[in-house]
Amino acid sequence: MVSGEWRLNSQMTNNQYLTQQTKQGRAAMWRCLGLCLSLVTLLQGEALASERRLSVVATLSTFADLVRVIGGDYVAVASIASPKFNPHFIEPKPSDVLKTKRANLLVHAGLDLELWRGPLLDAAGNTALFPGGPGELDLSQGIELLEVPSRAATRAQGDIHLYGNPHYWTDPENATQMASAIAEKLTVLDPAHEADYRRNLHAFLERLDQKIPEWRSRLAPYQGRELVGDHRAWPYVMRFLGLRMEQHLEPKPGIPPTPKQLEFLQHYITAQHIPAIARAGYFPRGAAESLARRTGAKVVLLCQNVGELPACSDYIAMMDYNVTQLVEALR
Amino acid sequence: MRLLTGLICGWFCFAQAGWADVSERRVDDLTQEVQRLTQLIERLQGTLQLQQQRIAELEVGRSQPMLPTPTASQVGALQRQAAGSLSAFNPEIGVLADIVGQLSESSADGEGNDKLSAREMELVFGHPIDPYSRLDVTVSFSDFEAANLEEAYITHWGLPGEIRGRVGRLKPKIGKAVAIHRDSLDTVDEPLVVQSYLGAEGLSRTGVELSGFLPVPWTAVTHELTGGVMEGGVGEGGTLFGAVRRRPSFYTHLKNFWDITDASNLELGATHLVGSKDADSSFEVNALGLDATLVHHVTPTNKLKWQNEAYLQHRDETVTFTTDESTGEVTSTSMSNTPWGWYSLLDYRLSPRFGIGGRFDYVEPVEVDPALLVRHADTAWSGHLTFYQSEFARWRLQLRHTNFAQGGDDNIVFLQGTVAIGVHKHQLQ
């Protein structure tokens, strides 16, 4: 209704005007009521639609992507840690607590990667997702871990991981195990769609089977070449591609680069003719770029998780991107 | 007729060929599936063998050094298995040390001026009790105060309606600075409004608290409602309520949290506190708290936080001021029975190593000596520089300039070192 129409017509009596106003007011009221009802129905419909699906919370976006691929339309997936941030130092928000509280399944990296997972679970209080609960899936189960401490660990060694390096998802061969575990868990929680989960798993594994030899062959000419890394996040993908990464910008895990470490790396890169320094998007660029300027090495930006860069839109795309970046750096 | 028969036969052959193709593909798929499952079983059998070997060794009491050097993956399996031993039932234990040096311009020999102290050594225990509840205990020690049970509460998850309950001695979930421990503050000291109204170390009382998320159809904004009843009194030096513990205080808090983007979020909160200022049975003190916090991640490591919090009191009491007739100085204005205070804090994490920030404080005192009242309120400006040595150690330098309501001012320099060892889990805010 245009506001101008509400003006008092000079030929209209006050009563007529009031009657017209009342009628128009009632019409507006009914319209508002209709709109509200529609909105509520829409929201409820949306809520019911999402309720029918299995609600899954994944700690990392990579796990969320795998759940999405395997679960398809039968799951509603959310992730806690944005891929743009360091997965070790996430501060879960109230919205994350609510998601976790209402989830049927929590998919996580296990080990001691997500030290924020415990407080998140305590705050959410969803006991089905607690360790050992029916709605918990620890993807590290069955993974062959690297860098497992061979003696008692102390914090003097930095932010060391007690059970071994937890960044195992960067190796596509581990993705096979992870995807199978996800399919298995979804089947247990939602047996009605077992056939769909198995079909999606099969399709994903077929794609991986095709891509794994391709990724390896692209890096084959550079077998044994060494790179410097940012954090100890890459041993699995290095092993998979036949590359090496012995030294890191962090002098010890979790300790930011120090001038002394950069000086050491400058000599090391020069002496060992190391062509590139690999870093994740969340790692501060300053140290890597300073070192690159001093040594002539290239800085390679790799995706550690799905969605970290636009090119890493899903697991396969992430691996494609990482392999391409490495090939270009080593060429 | 022959043509028709031929067509039917042709169709049948094509169909057979198609079915044969489908069957072959199916067999291939199944073969691959079986191969994968076989590999998985082999891997699991390996793990099982390791576990059985370990169990056998433990049973005969062999010590670890006698074992052949295990491979990396074997060690991982063994260590994870060890986590399943009885020691897993031990509580998580953490120790937190908060060492503070303080230099003041004040010439008074009052407690707290010019000191270097182990302000707080927190011993933190926590562990699930059973599938429905968890116990968290924090005992704090200091080199100039007696040991103090800061927190000892049971969290219960199994309540109807997705409600979470806490009972015991706890920091109530109200506002922003009150609910957190000192080591989690962005400054060395608590904001003045918290110190003045709720206690020098914030509020920690014995009580019962229930909290839950409001069931709304939208997900962009999260609403969490908390309500609780706690024993009377406030923290050390606080003036909001009286000191009588048997007169309970009640509180409610509504937190509204909005994820603006992946990198930004906004929290708006409202708190209501009601309690007694003395030993009678009336609840004559009401306080309304409002808080607003904006967090923006400029980059993954550069974080900006702007936090604001205000407390407005309504006290059923009147303070009368008198006029000093000898000097003619006008001091006869009545003090409002609605004192209030607020602070605004800005903190910016410059890099993984460094952070800077500042805070402005304004707080009107509840009880003042009218003869000494010079200003309506204490005001303070402070700035801080934080050096993050690692995830577990932090150093902070802070300067604070305070103008007191009762006249005079002071400049204080704080130097704080905060370190944590063991398992130190903070409750999420």
* pLDDT higher than 50, residue A3: no
CA distance B238 to chain A (A): 29
* pLDDT higher than 60, residue A37: no
Residues 183-202 of A with CB under 8 A from B: 202
pLDDT exceeding 90 applies to what percent of chain B? 43
**Interchain pair B297, A85: CB under 8 A:** yes
Check: CB of residue B187 under 8 Å from CB of residue B415.
no
pLDDT at A163: 86
Tell me, yes or no, if A92 comes closer than 8 A to chain B by beta carbon. yes
**Burial of residue A31, with CB atoms counted within 10 A of its CB: 0-12 exposed, 13-18 middle, 19 or more buried:** exposed
Q: How far is CA A75 from CA A131, A182, A244, B193, B201, in A?
A: 21, 12, 38, 47, 46
Q: Which residues of B are less than 8 Å from A148 in CB distance?
A: 72-73, 75-76, 79
pLDDT at B134: 92
Average the pLDDT over each of A37-51, A83-97, A202-216, A285-299 and give the range with the smallest value. Answer: A37-51
Angle between the N-to-C axes of helices A194-219 and B2-59, in degrees from 0 to 180, rounded to the nearest 10: 80
pLDDT at B213: 92
**Interchain pair B217, A86: CB under 8 A:** no
Calpha distance A216→A229 (Å, rounded) = 20
Mean pLDDT to the nearest integer, B291-300: 94
Q: pTM of the full predicted structure? A: 0.77
Instruction: Read off the pLDDT of residues A107-152 as tens digits, 9 standing for 90 and up.
Output: 999 988 898 999 999 899 898 999 889 999 999 998 999 988 887 7
pLDDT at B368: 65
* pLDDT higher than 70, residue B193: yes
pLDDT at A48: 45
pLDDT at B50: 65
Number of Cβ within 10 Å of residue B239's Cβ equals 19
pLDDT at A7: 38
pLDDT at A284: 87
- Identify which has the larger pLDDT, B197 or B15: B197
Instruction: Read off the pLDDT of residues A210-252 as tens digits, 9 standing for 90 and up.
Output: 999 999 999 999 999 999 999 999 999 999 999 999 999 999 8
- Identify which has the larger pLDDT, B19 or A254: A254
* pLDDT higher than 50, residue B333: no
Calpha distance A246→A240 (Å, rounded) = 15
Mean pLDDT to the nearest integer, B177-194: 91
Tell me, yes or no, if B26 comes closer than 8 A to chain A by beta carbon. no
Instruction: Read off the pLDDT of residues B44-95 as tens digits, 9 standing for 90 and up.
Output: 776 666 666 655 555 444 334 333 344 444 444 544 554 556 677 888 899 9
Q: Which residues of B are less than 8 Å from A183 in CB distance?
A: none
Checking ipTM against 0.85, whether it exceeds it is no
Average the pLDDT over each of A243-252, B187-196, B211-220, B231-240 and give the range with the smallest value. Answer: B231-240
Taking CA atoms, what residue in B is nearest to A307?
A: B262
Average the pLDDT over each of B3-17, B125-139, B266-280 and give the range with the smallest value. Answer: B3-17
Decide the pairing of beta strands A54-58 and B264-275: unpaired
pLDDT at B107: 73
Q: What six digits make up the tokens of B82? A: 């060890």
Of A149-153, A272-276, B23-27, which has the strongest mean pLDDT? A272-276
Tell me, yes or no, if A176 comes closer than 8 A to chain B by beta carbon. yes
Taking CA atoms, what residue in B is nearest to A42?
A: B217
CA neighbours closer than 13 Å in the CB half-sphere of residue A189 = 27
Q: Which residues of A are less than 8 Å from B213 in CB distance?
A: 94, 97-98, 101
Mean pLDDT to the nearest integer, A18-42: 45
pLDDT at B99: 93
User: What's A62-87 look like in SS3?
Assistant: HHHHHHHHHHHHHEEEEECCCCCCCH
Mean pLDDT to the nearest integer, A275-284: 91
Instruction: Read off the pLDDT of residues A56-74 as tens digits, 9 standing for 90 and up.
Output: 999 999 999 999 999 999 9
DSSP string of B63-127? -GGGSPPPPHHHHHHHHHHHTTSGGGGSPEEEEEEEEEEEEES--S--TTSSEEEEEEEEEEEEE
Calpha distance B421→B96 (Å, rounded) = 6
Mean pLDDT to the nearest integer, B192-215: 91
DSSP string of B195-236? HHHT-BTB--EEEEEEEEE---S-SSEEEEEEEEEE-S--ST
Confidence of residue A203 (pLDDT cuts 50, 70, 90): very high
Average the pLDDT over each of A171-180, B90-99, B192-201, B237-246 and give the range with the smallest value. Answer: B237-246
Tell me, yes or no, if A78 comes closer than 8 A to chain B by beta carbon. no
Residues 255-284 of A with CB under 8 A from B: 255-256, 281-282, 284
Taking CA atoms, what residue in A is nearest to B223?
A: A94
Mean pLDDT of chain B: 81
Mean pLDDT to the nearest integer, B356-370: 87
pLDDT at B279: 66
pLDDT at B324: 62
- Identify which has the larger pLDDT, A14 or B210: B210
Tell me, yes or no, if A93 comes closer than 8 A to chain B by beta carbon. yes
Q: Provide the phi-psi class of A35: left if phi over 0, else alpha when psi is between -120 and 50, else beta.
A: alpha
Name the nearest CA neighbour of A298 among A257, A267, A330: A330
Calpha distance B371→B236 (Å, rounded) = 25
* pLDDT higher than 50, residue A39: no
Instruction: Read off the pLDDT of residues B85-98 as tens digits, 9 standing for 90 and up.
Output: 667 788 889 999 99
**Interchain pair B390, A158: CB under 8 A:** yes
pLDDT at B51: 60
In chain A, what is the straight-line distance between the N-terminal and C-terminal CA atoms, in Å? 68
